[in-house]
Structure 1
Amino acid sequence: MILSALLTSVGINFGLCLLFFTLYSVLRKQPGNAHVYAPRLVAEGKSMRSDFNLERFLPSASWVRKAWETSEEELLALSGLDGVVFMRIFVFSIKVFTFAMIIGFVLLPINFLGNQLTMDYKDLPNKSLESFSISNVNDGSNRLWIHFSAAYIFTGFVCYLLYSEFKYISSKRITCFYSSEPMIHQFTVLVRGIPVSSGISFSESVENFFTLYYPSTYLSHVIVRRTSKLQKLISDADDLSRRLLHMKSTKYSQQGRKVNLLDHYEKKLESLVENVRMEQSLITGQEVPAAFVSFKSRFGAAIALHIKQGINPTEWNTEAAPEPQDVYWPFFSASFTKIWISRYVAFVACIVFTVLFFGPVVLVQSLTHLDQLETWFPFLKGILSVTFVSQVITGYLPSLILQLFQHYVPPTMILLSSIQGYIGHTHIEKSACYKILWFTIWNVFIANVLSGSILYQANVFLELKNIPSVLAVAVPGQLLTVYSPKHETNGKFWPIVHNSTIFSLVLMHIIAIGIFGLKKIPLASGFMIPLPVMTLLFNNYCQKRFIPLFKSYPAECLIKKDQDDQSSGTMDAFYEKLVNAYRDPALVPIQTPGNGDGRYSPLLQGTEV
């Protein structure tokens, strides 16, 4: 990409950002858009002022200042620890990129003043961006040691930030744990692989087992049932119910036809509700070998979670229970074998999707190379000769098309993660995050830096030792009112940020080793080798020092918190709530217009305890 194309892209993006900023600042103040821009206020029963006010139609940046001035305590009260960690990720990213920008300003003139590449300073706007990269520094130049020092300084700064954030967030987890009310999922574990016993049900097996081995701490259990068909019926009923409500609340041009449609939909809805009641009555015996088992203390649940329950490793498997509203119910009917197979199928599908996506990405990124574009499509030569057109195509169009393609990546990765047997929405989202991370590394970073010569250098990757050299050649050339939390992970997704940052640092080190080798200063390449080693050692220390606190709370905290709760005298009411907390939503009375008289109460009442 040439400099003028980059500046054109920057100008277009800046203009679009200013436009969107202006539109957002105006539209967010309109009462009719409250459900879009302030759903939390709508959910809390608050409304925006609807009286005419000229200020409503003028763009303003007050919302930015308000968001920036929000204290961490306010954010914690509104959005939980996840909201605090999410904002700290933004601040962490700003710190990293700000420091990188400072280093870049130092290195930019050093790169530009080199003469490894032939340049005509009079025609600077039409020169490649490689003129500002390390590629332009002379081979063997002592100036390359400044880049060497920058790699060490930048790595040290990022590792310091990572350690500080890990330490702060882990301590914040403990603080929030001590100050929180009893949480249902902290007293509960999910048990899968319940063995089949002749003459008794899964529910009876669970009660017999935990009454025998956990007599002092076992409280209750809820057996999981096959409700996939019932969930489909309820989903259809909900969709039809919303359609009815919409028709009743809006004007309709043909009143006669509206009455007929309303009558048709109401009869159809009644039929669906009857089918739901019938299906609920048949579910009693459709048990799945899985159950949510609740205990009288967090420590009792932790013991059951971390100790193997049976001799057969495929039976009586325990795992941490998600929050009741976080449970992903559809996959509970799957067997151990089905889950095992599904995970591998999803893994292979993810690889195939990533590899297949690589082709379009390479073709799109090749737009940044005007000479190759003219070679492949000679009939476009006349159009591409227009300066502004060529700058838009090479500078802005590739990123726009790539973003449009990537719009479909998150839902695809979430779909693949949802068939892997995870029991919570947060688990699915975490798995999808990792998939998106690797997809981005492969299809955005690798494809981006190699798009100009991928057809000519594909064979180089057959030898692993050549990867640093190839990257070394290629890289210097292309690089409060809305959020309403449904569930809380207490900052468990911070390790994803930490791990991805460590990976990025090590990748940078490998590229630097290759660059210094190509630039004929092998001594710098040799001295770079300890840097990724030290970074990985630092990561290993952080994994041992902090990760255990993100996996589970220590016994010291659990026992102390249990003792405090018992002395508060409120646990009896909490136990009553705990008994029914993990009831399958498909067994809850269906909510439809006109069922306030209780006609559609489910036949399956209560839970197995």
Structure 2
Amino acid sequence: MDIAGLLTSAGINIAICVVLLSLYSILRKQPSNASVYFTRKLVPEPVKWSDPFCLERFVPSASWIMRAWQATDEEILAAGGVDAVVFMRIVVFSIRVFIIAAMICILLVLPVNYYGQDMQHKQIHAESLEVFTIGNVKEGSKWFWTHCLALYVISCSACVLLYFEYESITKMRLAHITGSPPSPSHFTVLVRGIPWSQDHSYSESVEKFFSTYYPASYVSHQMVYRAGTVDKLMKDAEKMYRVLKTVEPQCREISMPCCLCGGTTHSFKVLNNEAESVKSKISDDGLQPAQREKERPAAFVFFRTRYAAVVAAQVLQSSNPMLWVTQLAPEPRDVYWSNLSIPYKQIWLRKIATLLGAIVFMFVFLVPVTFVQGLTQLDQLSHTFPFLKGILRQKFMNQLVTGYLPSVILMLFLYAAPPTMMLFSKVEGNVSRSGRKKSACIKVLYFTIWNVFFVNILSGSIIRQLSVFSSVRDIPTQLAKAVPTQATFFTTYVLSSGWASLSFEVIQLFALLRNVFRKFILRIKEESSNCALSFPYHTEIPRLLLFGLLGFTCSVMAPLILPFLLVYFFLAFLVYRNQILHVYVSKYESGGQFWPIVHNTTIFSLVLTQIIALGVFGIKRSPVASGFTIPLIFFTLLFNEYCRQRFSPVFKRSPAQVLIEMDRQDEQCGRVEEIYDQLRSAYCQFPLIARDLSTSQDLSTAGNTWQNKDQGSSQDPESLKPGNQLVKLNE
């Protein structure tokens, strides 16, 4: 591919970005789209154009960019929690490290690559992109010290920035633990693998076990039941409630009797009273006799202190590790109830099955990736399909096929990965929604790195892809040969999968079409929060980390990718901040659990970059550069081990010192009895569904707050601040 082909791809994607971002700036001003672009309603948005023919509403503007740029980390924390702040720290880290990489590589490495051979250069627009890569430097050149110096600067800068980010996020996580109000998850342990006894029910076994071995700290427990008819009826009632809640305001405006609601609004209030009566009937005492046969070998056990709960969650309860398995319970809003009924002995089988399924899916994906790589090789394409020779001779079609279509087709195929991996994570048996999303994030990350990076640089045919790993010693050499030649494809992939995807992210195409259908086809005027989305960490974090991998591996080999990457990260900084502040709703909080994934992937990217550079220096016969690269690999691995020992334990376990201090504060403030009273109601399985029925039009609180039994009670004014309580969307 030449510069003209790259510019063709860049021009197409720039046009797409400009059109979609301009369209977004217009659509967000329309009051009818408030439920699409201002789901959170944290910031008072000036939807003030009462005149439907106001010209300002139909003129593109950049006001949203300024609001996103001026937003502080405190506002991001209040809107999306610690996870949102951690996600934005990934973007900021990428911007910082690739600014350093771009400065040294564009100014120092790129001229060396361009003038690395004694050759007659063409005009810039007609030059092949290969002349800007390290492959253009002749063997034994004395200028390879510039590449080695750039590699040292990039690696050291990345490690220093990673250290400060890890330290800052660790402090943020500890502040999240100590600063949040008492949460039921702090005092609750999830127990699975409860042994069956013919003489006792599961509930009696749990009470007997913990009363015997934890007599001073055990409070009570709540069993998990097999969801059956009651669960289905409650969900159907919730759907009907939403329908009637939406239709009721329309009936007030009609003077004639409404056949759907049955007349006055008083009947709808009776329905609310019915829901309250159902909620009161589905109490723990009323369910126990009927549900005893539906008890599952899992329970939520409540303790008097946080420290006691942590100790019980981390120790081995029985000589048989498959029985009485304990872990800290997720938040009540985070519990994935359907997976709690899975017997614990099946978990390891499910994990193996999902792992094999993910591996098979990754290898099946070799077919579309190989097809995509065939589009980048016009000679093979013309030989395989002779009827395309005339079309491919046209200059524009040549540039379009080689510079734009391959990355777009690969991006479309990759859209099948996140939902598939989310399904695997569900089957795997995760007991929390955040755990399921974290597991899906790791699977999508492996999938994208394998298919977008490794398969693409080693593609040609499936046989070649499998035979290239016949010798482990040949892997660095093969990577060193392939990465510089595939850097042009990675650059176009950043344009199509990066720039264009951010434009589609901000415009929320599917939510917009759903809103148009709802407002103008079904004629439903009321705003609804039923379709409020949570942030898709399992798709966006792997995308950022993949681009980071491409940036690190290509920075020294093909520095021309760095300006396009920087544009992507700057645009991502604005788009994601805007989406977190206005669109996505934080339904649960993991406390920054995604950062260790980011750290480990970044270290992997650095080490892989250094190994590839070592292979290139060996091919180019530069023993000095090779000798200086080997210590850098050991230094990076040693740095990773230090961070793993220094910071990683905080993300796996809560420090006892912090928990004991929080327990003492509860005693001093006299909140112990209040905590005990509210513990049992927090994890009630069926009352939780009934409670959701009466509050389905309200969004959950963004912080870790107690879920009160009486949802109709007045709220503390402090809870109405942004980040503590979300505004009703249908007000």
Q: Compute the TM-score of the two structures, normalised by the length of structure 1.
A: 0.88
Distance (Å, rounded) in 2 between the aligned partners of 1:505 and 1:218: 48
Secondary structure of the corresponding residue to residue 198 of structure 2:
coil
**Aligned residue among 111, 114, 133 for 1:112:** 114
Deviation at 1:55, TM superposition (A): 2.8
Deviation at 1:455, TM superposition (A): 5.7
Secondary structure of the corresponding residue to residue 355 of structure 1:
helix
* Matched residue, 1:103: 104
Deviation at 1:418, TM superposition (A): 0.9
Q: Which moved more, 1:469-478 or 1:234-243?
A: 234-243
* Structure 2, unaligned runs of 5 or more: 252-257, 264-270, 491-580, 697-708, 711-731
- Determine if contact 1:230/1:586 at 8 Å carries over to the other structure: no
- Determine if contact 2:201/2:292 at 8 Å carries over to the other structure: no
**Aligned residue among 340, 346, 352 for 2:354:** 346
Distance (Å, rounded) in 2 between the aligned partners of 1:67 and 1:539: 33
* Matched residue, 1:266: none
- Determine if contact 2:49/2:57 at 8 Å carries over to the other structure: no
Query: C-alpha offsets along residues 384-431 of structure 1, whole Å, 9 cap, x if unaligned?
Result: 111111111111111111111111211111110111111101111111
Distance (Å, rounded) in 2 between the aligned partners of 1:592 and 1:462: 59
Deviation at 1:45, TM superposition (A): 11
Deviation at 1:36, TM superposition (A): 0.8
* Matched residue, 1:94: 95
Instruction: Report matched runs for 1:273-284 at 5 Å.
Output: 282-284=290-292
Deviation at 1:342, TM superposition (A): 0.8
Deviation at 1:233, TM superposition (A): 4.8
> CA distance change for structure 1 residues 67 and 45 in 2, over 3 Å: closer, same or farther?
closer
Secondary structure of the corresponding residue to residue 321 of structure 2:
coil
* Matched residue, 1:200: 200
* Matched residue, 2:225: 225
* Matched residue, 2:138: 138
**Aligned residue among 354, 366, 370 for 2:374:** 366
> CA distance change for structure 1 residues 11 and 586 in 2, over 3 Å: closer, same or farther?
farther
- Determine if contact 2:9/2:400 at 8 Å carries over to the other structure: yes
Query: C-alpha offsets along residues 440-484 of structure 1, whole Å, 9 cap, x if unaligned?
Result: 111001122233576656423211111111111110013311232
* Matched residue, 1:49: 48
> CA distance change for structure 1 residues 154 and 587 in 2, over 3 Å: closer, same or farther?
closer
Distance (Å, rounded) in 2 between the aligned partners of 1:210 and 1:457: 56
> CA distance change for structure 1 residues 326 and 80 in 2, over 3 Å: closer, same or farther?
same
- Determine if contact 1:509/1:528 at 8 Å carries over to the other structure: yes
Distance (Å, rounded) in 2 between the aligned partners of 1:400 and 1:46: 35
- Determine if contact 1:517/1:525 at 8 Å carries over to the other structure: yes
**Aligned residue among 670, 673, 698 for 1:569:** 670
* Matched residue, 1:510: 611
* Matched residue, 1:61: 62
Q: Which moved more, 1:453-462 or 1:128-137?
A: 453-462
Distance (Å, rounded) in 1 between the aligned partners of 2:96 and 2:89: 10
Deviation at 1:313, TM superposition (A): 1.3
Query: C-alpha offsets along residues 97-125 of structure 1, whole Å, 9 cap, x if unaligned?
Result: 22222233021111011117xx6523543
> CA distance change for structure 1 residues 591 and 315 in 2, over 3 Å: closer, same or farther?
closer
- Determine if contact 2:235/2:689 at 8 Å carries over to the other structure: no
> CA distance change for structure 1 residues 366 and 138 in 2, over 3 Å: closer, same or farther?
same
Instruction: Report matched runs for 1:323-342 at 5 Å.
Output: 323-342=331-350
> CA distance change for structure 1 residues 237 and 373 in 2, over 3 Å: closer, same or farther?
farther
| Structure ranking higher on relative contact order (CA contacts 8 Å, 6+ apart) | 2
Paired amino acid for 1:157: S
Instruction: Report matched runs for 1:407-486 at 5 Å.
Output: 407-452=415-460, 456=464, 458-478=466-486, 479=490, 480-486=581-587
Deviation at 1:492, TM superposition (A): 1.4
* Matched residue, 2:27: 27
1:490 aligns with 2:489: no
Paired amino acid for 1:209: F
1:11 aligns with 2:11: yes
Distance (Å, rounded) in 2 between the aligned partners of 1:546 and 1:576: 36
Deviation at 1:575, TM superposition (A): 2.2
* Matched residue, 2:82: 81
Deviation at 1:541, TM superposition (A): 0.8
- Determine if contact 2:3/2:125 at 8 Å carries over to the other structure: yes
* Matched residue, 1:254: none
> CA distance change for structure 1 residues 67 and 163 in 2, over 3 Å: closer, same or farther?
same
Paired amino acid for 2:369: V
Q: Which moved more, 1:89-98 or 1:320-329?
A: 89-98
> CA distance change for structure 1 residues 577 and 143 in 2, over 3 Å: closer, same or farther?
same
Distance (Å, rounded) in 1 between the aligned partners of 2:481 and 2:462: 12
Paired amino acid for 2:17: C
> CA distance change for structure 1 residues 230 and 504 in 2, over 3 Å: closer, same or farther?
farther
Paired amino acid for 2:342: A
Distance (Å, rounded) in 2 between the aligned partners of 1:47 and 1:292: 46
- Determine if contact 1:234/1:586 at 8 Å carries over to the other structure: no
Distance (Å, rounded) in 1 between the aligned partners of 2:246 and 2:660: 52
Paired amino acid for 2:418: P
- Determine if contact 2:217/2:305 at 8 Å carries over to the other structure: yes
**Aligned residue among 289, 298, 308 for 2:306:** 298
Distance (Å, rounded) in 1 between the aligned partners of 2:26 and 2:439: 37
Distance (Å, rounded) in 1 between the aligned partners of 2:250 and 2:483: 57
Paired amino acid for 2:140: G
Deviation at 1:591, TM superposition (A): 7.4
Distance (Å, rounded) in 1 between the aligned partners of 2:67 and 2:591: 24
* Structure 1, unaligned runs of 5 or more: 252-257, 264-268, 596-604
Total equivalences in the alignment: 581
Distance (Å, rounded) in 2 between the aligned partners of 1:592 and 1:337: 34
- Provide the alpha-carbon RMSD of the alignment: 3.1
